[in-house]
Chain A
């Protein structure tokens, strides 16, 4: 069964550094999402992406965050200047139609030191 894959599985970064989280969505999917889960808390929506542009974003997705689909297969989340509170599990998800379920990757655990 097709999967959403995320790399790396764990990223450790110094505060203030830039980090890029990578995702390969399921190949025929058109809708892409990033979520995060701070340890012990609920899963929170960050941003959705469709037709090469952001379609929706949450309050969490401020100017330090950006997303890109550079080559038609990868979908990346960049955090420009990381803060301690960015430490979380980041999940990528994709879907192929508006009312179909989103499929999630296994996540990238981001640890900011």
Chain B
């Protein structure tokens, strides 16, 4: 079945550091890929998405590229801020079916 694997956290960085959170997936066919973010005490917010191979999703300085050859969708940001501290979830779905989430990676950024 379909699954998502993301790197274990927590990830602890200083402000302005470079961020990478790895995500790989297993799926039949061509899933859509997403990154969701959960700030403390809040719900899940869509951060970015990509619906086909080689698409790059981007939002708020975050980027992720849909790599079919490596079945990956790694999240990157060139310079993190304290306000980026949150839990980040990689997810996939196919044709409107249920989202399948990774376990989440906690990011903590200090000033």
Contacts and interface: CB of A to CB of B under 8 A. Distances in A.
Interface of A: 6, 31, 33, 35, 41-45, 48, 56, 58, 91, 93, 95, 97-107
Contact of A43 (B44, B45, B93): B44
A107 to B, nearest CB: 5
A66 B37 CA distance: 28
Contacts of A98: 95-96
Question: B32, B34, B43, B100: which has the most chain A beta carbons within 10 Å?
Answer: B43
Interface residues of B, number: 23
Interface of B: 32, 34, 36, 42-46, 49, 51, 89, 91, 93, 95-104
Contacts of A103: 46
Contact of A42 (B93, B96, B103): B103
